Chains A and B, each alone.
Chain A
């Protein structure tokens, strides 16, 4: 409760939260309000924004409605962002937990394994993965999850390393609780706050990653996304700058809102850390 209270009092975080909330709502209900496909060629190409009230943001190089693209793009960006983050957490948390809890050779093996993924530049790896498995929303989500779990594993391992020698953990051990119970019921709940903060930032970087992939033409060819819109418009930037600008702003705002929210969560969950700043 304290956390929520402190979060609601943090204006910056609330701004981030509100923007994100609006985007989520648009993503959920937009396609029902907006009939038809975002690929439909509805008007003459290169219609500038705010000239035709039916197509408020104008049309792209093929005469497709830019606003429809934005709405459908919000859906795919947020979906890929959240789902890939959840998958990354599902990989990273258990690995980090085992490594940190057991230590010794388990730790060695799991951390060396993690380092393999950490040493490869994540974007390059994502490009290769998507190219191998052919671009689709599944391969993109999977690729982003695969390149973004190592920081989770390292973070969780660090938390577990410091928490496993705490008195309440030792008490649980003496109680005869199973290792599994200790990990899930004792240590994990206590290390959740940094994970939540990290996750919110991971969603932001996953959205960026997805946009970059689509920008490079590695997006799902059947799905309209923000990165695709920028990629398709980059070549006409001198004739129609707004075609790259509008989805670019959408990406920037979404990522910014997630960062603000993450920052707010960090302050709310780690009052000790943020205390310094308030003083």
Chain B
């Protein structure tokens, strides 16, 4: 095996020929955008809704299907050298920006090495593995890594690494560039108008580089701040698409039973939102492993799933989501078993010290979930004291490790090195961020496995290390995993082929079409 040529093997675009009839052109799609994004400049704002709208204006080098396999988009093929340290990307020719300028390798180098390195903290962490990015010719880009970096191939989705126009941004103050208000990308839709507080209007890119796409003429993103009004707008037909999470959970069953309503939970594979309870590993009863295991046994997670999440989602077995890479499905399971929980508490000699249970102020479902967990814990004899707080206070308290038990959910970004390790590495436990090792878990052996797994080559070795780490973590219960969340997207059935990538709505409309 001289070179691993990936792109060429699986080159097929668009992804899969639709199983439905021949796509029809024309029509308008109305989508809800909740909350209104602060900007559409996807390279500088990582807000969920910035990604949703911006992902249809901008593009990455690749698209990922629901199994997280990369497919060509702005790059037609790519190869990795034998030592895993040199990646060469071949770009598509004849691609133009929305203002007519050609898209070349200079744009790629500028976007990644200059602009995103400055504005995207999450990408910057990964770029630490990259020594140089060069463009030998107009349609080739070469990345030289200082060591093999497994997740590298999963960095090129539009939200992480959007391609941005060099001729507009070079030498300017990126944050203040007027083009942020009138984004110029290479994507299937061009920006038309944004009436703040009302709607964002995108229109078909007539010069799109993929022949025959997009099918849709007009795309409107409507700002409707009230959850009940969003549901009503869908019921009355004003809205065709409700992206996952834009209506409250309890409205989902009612809306999905409407005539002409289709539901899909696809399109979140890349993010794979994973919910868990933070358990303070440093102080209080939760610092005892047996207590943490008792929490796992005490929780009736099936109940929470069926009552709070309408049976959407999956009980989480461990730290890695089952839909992402390197998930080990041989992990032992913590079933709902109050007896075992009580026995563990007795064994550790838990004296009934109350633990603080802090709700996550993210709305109705999370509030109810806190009440369910509180009740589950009290039934095995764990005394809890509920702490109520607002978003800022919650962030602060998690960052300062000023809690005993609290909730969260984080994205996994398709690879444990990108989205999982950050929660368990002891090098990542400094106070000050609610997205790192906020529980204060320390296990040098796990550190070593996780660190090594990010940089060994090839994938089979990574899988082995991640399996070891997962088994140890499930034994130690640094956090109490709750569920792999699913946010159902509800849409009018006339919209066809809506979600066909691992980031769902974020780049959905280039390939969607309307059945007349």
Chain A contacts to B: CB under 8 angstroms: 37, 39-41, 45, 61-63, 131, 134-135, 217-218, 221-222, 232, 235-236, 238-239
Q: Across the interface, which residues of B come within 8 angstroms of A236, CB to CB?
A: 250
In the complex, per-residue mask of B153-174: 1 if CB is within 8 Å of any chain A CB, else 0: 0000000000000000000000
Do residues B386 and A238 form an inter-chain contact, with CB atoms below 8 A?
A: no
Closest residue of chain A to B231, judged by CB?
A238
Do residues A221 and B388 form an inter-chain contact, with CB atoms below 8 A?
A: yes
Q: Across the interface, which residues of A come within 8 angstroms of B390, CB to CB?
A: 131
Q: A37-B378, A134-B388 are in contact. Are A235 and B248 (CB under 8 A)?
A: yes
Do residues A239 and B359 form an inter-chain contact, with CB atoms below 8 A?
A: no
B126-134, B364-372, B447-455: which lies at the interface: B364-372
Q: Which of A39, A134, A235 has most B Cβ within 10 Å?
A: A235
Q: A37-B378, A41-B303, A63-B307 are in contact. Are A221 and B368 (CB under 8 A)?
A: no
Do residues A222 and B385 form an inter-chain contact, with CB atoms below 8 A?
A: yes
Closest residue of chain A to B304, judged by CB?
A62
CA distance A62 to B307 in the complex (A): 7
Q: Across the interface, which residues of A come within 8 angstroms of B308, CB to CB?
A: 62
Give me the 7 closest cross-chain CB pairs, A-B, nearest first.
A221-B386, A221-B388, A222-B386, A135-B388, A39-B375, A236-B250, A45-B307
Q: A41-B375, A62-B368 are in contact. Are A239 and B254 (CB under 8 A)?
A: yes
Do residues A235 and B250 form an inter-chain contact, with CB atoms below 8 A?
A: yes
Q: Report 29 cross-chain contacts, Cβ distance below 8 Å, ordered by A residue.
A: A37-B375, A37-B378, A39-B375, A41-B303, A45-B307, A61-B307, A61-B368, A62-B307, A62-B371, A62-B372, A131-B390, A134-B387, A134-B388, A134-B389, A217-B388, A218-B388, A221-B359, A221-B370, A221-B386, A221-B387, A221-B388, A222-B385, A232-B364, A232-B367, A235-B250, A235-B251, A235-B364, A238-B254, A239-B254
Q: Across the interface, which residues of A come within 8 angstroms of B374, CB to CB?
A: 39
Q: Across the interface, which residues of A come within 8 angstroms of B387, CB to CB?
A: 134, 221
Q: Which of B248, B359, B370, B371 has most A Cβ within 10 Å?
A: B371
Q: Across the interface, which residues of B come within 8 angstroms of A131, CB to CB?
A: 390
Q: A4 → chain B, closest Cβ, in Å?
A: 44
Q: Across the interface, which residues of A come within 8 angstroms of B370, CB to CB?
A: 221
Interface Cβ pair total, 8 Å cutoff: 45
Q: Across the interface, which residues of A come within 8 angstroms of B307, CB to CB?
A: 45, 61-63
CA distance A41 to B388 in the complex (A): 21
Q: A61-B250, A221-B386, A239-B250 are in contact. Are A232 and B368 (CB under 8 A)?
A: yes
CA distance A161 to B362 in the complex (A): 53
CA distance A135 to B251 in the complex (A): 28
CA distance A237 to B387 in the complex (A): 27
Q: Across the interface, which residues of B come within 8 angstroms of A61, CB to CB?
A: 250, 307, 368
CA distance A63 to B307 in the complex (A): 9
Q: Across the interface, which residues of A come within 8 angstroms of B375, CB to CB?
A: 37, 39-41
Chain B contacts to A: CB under 8 angstroms: 248, 250-251, 254, 303, 307-308, 359, 364, 367-368, 370-372, 374-375, 378, 385-390
Closest residue of chain B to A131, judged by CB?
B390
Q: Across the interface, which residues of A come within 8 angstroms of B371, CB to CB?
A: 39, 62
Q: Across the interface, which residues of A come within 8 angstroms of B385, CB to CB?
A: 222
Q: B316 → chain A, closest Cβ, in Å?
A: 21
Q: A41-B303, A239-B254 are in contact. Are A217 and B248 (CB under 8 A)?
A: no
Q: Which of B248, B250, B390 has most A Cβ within 10 Å?
A: B250
Q: Across the interface, which residues of B come within 8 angstroms of A239, CB to CB?
A: 250, 254
Q: Across the interface, which residues of A come within 8 angstroms of B251, CB to CB?
A: 235
Closest residue of chain B to A45, judged by CB?
B307
Do residues A41 and B372 form an inter-chain contact, with CB atoms below 8 A?
A: yes
Closest residue of chain A to B389, judged by CB?
A134
Q: B30 → chain A, closest Cβ, in Å?
A: 23
CA distance A135 to B358 in the complex (A): 13
Closest residue of chain B to A63, judged by CB?
B307
Q: B281 → chain A, closest Cβ, in Å?
A: 24
Q: Which of A41, A134, A221, A239 has most B Cβ within 10 Å?
A: A221
Closest residue of chain B to A221, judged by CB?
B386
Q: Across the interface, which residues of A come within 8 angstroms of B367, CB to CB?
A: 217, 232
Closest residue of chain B to A224, judged by CB?
B371
CA distance A232 to B371 in the complex (A): 11
Q: B396 → chain A, closest Cβ, in Å?
A: 13
Q: Across the interface, which residues of B come within 8 angstroms of A217, CB to CB?
A: 367, 388
CA distance A45 to B250 in the complex (A): 12
CA distance A222 to B364 in the complex (A): 16
CA distance A121 to B442 in the complex (A): 51
Q: Please give 6 more A-B residue pairs, beta carbons under 8 A apart, in addition to A62-B308, A232-B364, A235-B364.
A: A37-B375, A39-B374, A61-B368, A131-B390, A232-B368, A235-B250
Q: B268 → chain A, closest Cβ, in Å?
A: 23
CA distance A20 to B392 in the complex (A): 42
Q: Across the interface, which residues of A come within 8 angstroms of B359, CB to CB?
A: 221
CA distance A135 to B375 in the complex (A): 20
Closest residue of chain A to B385, judged by CB?
A222
